[in-house]
Amino acid sequence: MRIACPHCGPRGLEEFLYHGDATVRRPRDGGAAPTKEWTDYVYFRDNANGPHDELWYHSAGCHAWLVVRRDLATHEILHVKSARDAA
């Protein structure tokens, strides 16, 4: 598999670390209490099929966190952008 890093260009899978779902958002001003909003953020994930946004870290490259839109059924990578731009 290859990921086109927006900074470094297309690079092999071995340069990247997979992190997980890029669509969850850390509760802003979520407070100190362990609410459902918090547990959902940390634990609750959809088992999506088809295109999905994932976080990857270019650990052996520029250290950028990337949002990779990947089809989980075909492994086709549809889009890559830096997480900072997506945030």
Partner 1 sequence: MSAHRLASGGLIERGRKLSFSFDGQSYQGYAGDTLASALLANGVKLVGRSFKYHRPRGILSAGSEEPNALVELRTGAHREPNTRATVAELFDGLVATSQNRFPSLKHDLLSINAHLAPFLAAGFYYKTFMWPASFWEKLYEPLIRRAAGLGRAATQPDPDVYEKSTEFCDVLIIGGGEAGLAAAREAARTGGRVILCDEAAMLGGQALSDGKPVDLSGLETVKILTRTTVFGVYDGSTYGALQRLTDHLPASAAPRQRLMKIIAGRSVLASGATERPLVFGNNDLPGVMLAGAVRAYIHRYAVAPGRAAVLALNHDEAALTIPALKLAGISIAAIIDNRANSSPHVRALAAQANAPLFCGAQLNRAIGKLEVTAAEVLTVSGTLLRIPCDLIAMSGGWNPALHLTSHLNDKPSWDETAATFIPAELPPGMSVAGAASGRGLNPNILPLWRSGTAKAKAFVDYQNDVADTDITLAKQEGFVSVEHLKRYTTLGMATDQGKTANVNALALMAAATGKSIPATGTTRFRPPYTPVALGALAGPHRGKHFKPARLTPTHDWATSQGATFIETGLWLRAQYFARAGEDWLAAVSREVNAVRTGVGICDVTTLGKIDIQGPDAAKFLECVYTNAWSTLAIGRARYGLMLREDGMVMDDGTCARLGEHHYVMTTTTANAAKVMQHLEFCHQILWPELDVAFISVTDQWAQVAVAGPKSRAVLEKIVDAPFDISNAAFPYMAAGELSICGGTPARLFRLSFSGELAYEVAVPARYGNALAHALMAAGAQWDITPYGTEALGVMRIEKGHPAGPELNGQTTAQDLGMGKLLSKKKDFIGRALAARPALTDPSRPTLVGLKPIDRATPFRAGSHLLPPGAQASASNDQGWITSAALSPTLGHPIALAMLANGPARHGETIRVYDPVRNGDTLAEVVAPVFLDPQGSRLHA
Q: Does 5 bind partner 1 (CB under 8 A)?
A: no
Measured distance CA(40)–CA(24) in Å, rounded: 9
- Site residues for partner 1, 7-46, by CB under 8 A, read 10, 12-13, 17, 19, 26-27, 30-35, 38-39, 41-43
> What does the buried/exposed string (b/e) look like for 27-37 if buried means 16 or more CB atoms within 10 Å of the residue's CB?
eeeeeeeeeee
Question: With respect to partner 1, which residue has the nearer C-beta, 39 or 48?
Answer: 39
Specify which residues 73 forms β-bridges with.
none
Please state the separation of Cα 69 from the chain's center in Å: 8
> Residues in the site for partner 1, rule: CB under 8 A?
1-3, 10, 12-13, 17, 19, 26-27, 30-35, 38-39, 41-43, 55, 57, 59, 63-65, 75-77, 82-84, 87
